[in-house]
Structure 1
């Protein structure tokens, strides 16, 4: 009987740990995606600003 109880407890804890790791990984991937999206926006805005400045300098 003792071995059966230990197995159930171990299975419960290992499945909880597995879920925590899976949720942590999903959160980490989401944060990376958000960071990359912000970097892409900043890059696009910087390129647009450079293009606007070079267009203004060429017109003068």
Structure 2
């Protein structure tokens, strides 16, 4: 019965590590997605500003 607890602890530890790694990967992907969205938003604002500037000059 003593060995059973050791095996259980080993698997619990492995599962915990897998969950932690999965969570870190998920957070990383969310951060990358937000960064991409922010970049697209900035580019859209710059293009809009350029259009407004060119419209005033003409």
CA distance in 2 between partners of 1:58 and 1:19 (Å): 59
Question: TM-score scaled by structure 1?
Answer: 0.95
CA RMSD of aligned residues (A): 0.4
Give the unaligned 5+ runs of structure 1. none
Moved segments of 4+, more than 2 Å = none
Question: TM-score scaled by structure 2?
Answer: 0.98
Matched residues, number: 58
